[in-house]
Structure 1
């Protein structure tokens, strides 16, 4: 008997459009012999399930069901493809836990922790994971530019603490540019992270649970045409994503070991894609994405393909792991 799956997409953040694209790709690649899937848009203004003709059916938030042509549709599991709030920060997963719904992501606490860049760095530093030097600011804090520069140097990166897809990030070269960069970041979040510039090769590392084993996917080297791996580089073709990365087998092994350690230290499960900078062949952790892009061109599916795992197999594995969880 087919399992009924909700592919949740959309969200409340700047990443809505990207999430909708990812969700539709997942929908296209699910095995129709095993699953009856519905796209579910979770937006600020509405929660609705869609049929193949894009007709909308309101979701009952009491149990995440909906009525279609007089039939009550209940889901066996949720495939989470919401980048940002509320899918990647744990909020939605807490709701699913309350109603006993199974889902593909890590548990809500791990999602909340990893979405908060500052908290993630604080945990990983205790385990000897190398990171950039950093300064934390909250909206309303007094800003001492000289102290910031003394701590992190120039150039540096100014980032929203809780945001994805490089929204609100600036690379700052001079003191006078810090305050405008803070204003840009505050449009995305009330918490800010300022990090030192790390001069090295950027790599993206996918770590997933596949067939009940922890698996590091082939590493991707990021070569951005822009000043850093920003929104244009990620989504508008302004970068080269080279899989496997052009690194030695020794460095590859070192990165894989660190990536596995990070995944384990954070008690992760499901998908993850983390960014590192290789400085003198040593990996420095930047951040982790727990709901990575799922289009054919996205990095994690590229890495999976290089490992001989199709998008169909990747999605199927995630759903099977979710269905096998105990709630």
Structure 2
């Protein structure tokens, strides 16, 4: 008997359009002989099932069900394709876990940690994971530009602490430009992180649970045409994404080992994609995404293809893991 799979997409953040694209790729790729797929749009003002002719049916949040033509549909598993809140920060995970509905993403606690860049880096430092120098600010804090420059140097990156797809990120070269960059970041989040610039090869490493095993996918080298790997570089083709990355065997072994260690230290499951920059031959962790993009332009699907894994197999494995 075919399983009912709810593909949740959209969300409450600036990433909702990318999430809708990811969710539709999942919808188009799921094995129709095994699954009945339902596209569920999650927005602040509505949670709805959207059929193939764009009719909308409201979701009953009491048990995450939907009534279609007088029939109540419940779901065997939720495929989480929401980038940002509430799908990547733990809220949907907690809700689904309370309802005892299996889902393809990591658990609530892991989602909360990884979505908060400051907490993630703080937790991993005792395990020897190298990171950039960082300076934290909360909305309302006094801004001491001299102290920031003394800690992280110039150029530096100003980032929203809890945001993805490079929303709220600026590269700052001059001290007098810090305040504007901080204001941009605060439009996305009430916490920000300011990090030193790491000059080196940037790579993206996908680590997933695949057929019951932790698997590190082929590494992608990021060569942005812009000043850094920003939104346009990620989604509008303004970068080279080279898979497999042009690394030495030593570099490849180091980043694979660290990426797998991070995944296992955090007790992760499901998909993850982490960004690293090599400085003095050592990979430094920038961040981890637990709901990475699944669009045709996205990195993780490219890495899966390089590993000989089709999207259908990739998504099937995630659902099977969740149903165990």
TM-score, L = length of structure 1: 0.98
Asked if residue 138 in structure 1 is aligned to residue 138 in structure 2, the reply is: yes
Q: CA deviation at 1:267?
A: 1.2
* 2:176 counterpart residue number: 176
Provide, for residues 86-121 of structure 1, a one-character-per-residue CA deviation record: whole Å limited to 9, x for no partner: 000001111111111110000010001000000000
* 2:246 counterpart residue number: 246
User: What is the SS of the residue equivalent to 2:82?
Assistant: coil
* Cα distance in 2 for residues equivalent to 1:269 and 1:48: 27
* 2:310 counterpart residue number: 310
* Cα distance in 2 for residues equivalent to 1:139 and 1:202: 30
Report if the CA contact (8 A) 2:235-2:297 is conserved.
no
* 2:101 counterpart residue number: 101
What root-mean-square deviation, in Å, do the aligned CA atoms of Structure 1 and Structure 2 show?
Answer: 0.6
Provide, for residues 267-290 of structure 1, a one-character-per-residue CA deviation record: whole Å limited to 9, x for no partner: 111100000001122100000000
Asked if residue 84 in structure 1 is aligned to residue 84 in structure 2, the reply is: yes
Provide, for residues 257-276 of structure 1, a one-character-per-residue CA deviation record: whole Å limited to 9, x for no partner: 00011111111111000000
Alignment of structure 1 residues 1-327 onto 2, 5 Å: 1-324=1-324
User: What is the SS of the residue equivalent to 2:223?
Assistant: strand
Report if the CA contact (8 A) 2:159-2:192 is conserved.
yes
Which range moves more in the overlay, 263-272 or 75-84?
A: 263-272
Unpaired runs of 5+ residues, structure 1, are none
* Cα distance in 2 for residues equivalent to 1:145 and 1:133: 15
Report if the CA contact (8 A) 2:18-2:295 is conserved.
no
User: What is the SS of the residue equivalent to 2:5?
Assistant: strand
Q: CA deviation at 1:52?
A: 1.6
TM-score, L = length of structure 2: 0.99
Runs of 4 or more off by more than 4 Å in structure 1?
none
Provide, for residues 13-47 of structure 1, a one-character-per-residue CA deviation record: whole Å limited to 9, x for no partner: 00000000000000000000000010000001100
* Cα distance in 2 for residues equivalent to 1:5 and 1:23: 12
Report if the CA contact (8 A) 2:78-2:103 is conserved.
yes
Provide, for residues 221-266 of structure 1, a one-character-per-residue CA deviation record: whole Å limited to 9, x for no partner: 0000000000000001100000000001121011100001111111
User: What is the SS of the residue equivalent to 1:131?
Assistant: coil
User: What is the SS of the residue equivalent to 1:105?
Assistant: coil
Report if the CA contact (8 A) 2:203-2:221 is conserved.
yes
* Cα distance in 2 for residues equivalent to 1:73 and 1:129: 45
* Cα distance in 1 for residues equivalent to 2:34 and 2:272: 25
Q: CA deviation at 1:296?
A: 2.4
Unpaired runs of 5+ residues, structure 2, are none
Number of equivalences: 324
Provide, for residues 56-76 of structure 1, a one-character-per-residue CA deviation record: whole Å limited to 9, x for no partner: 110000000010011110100
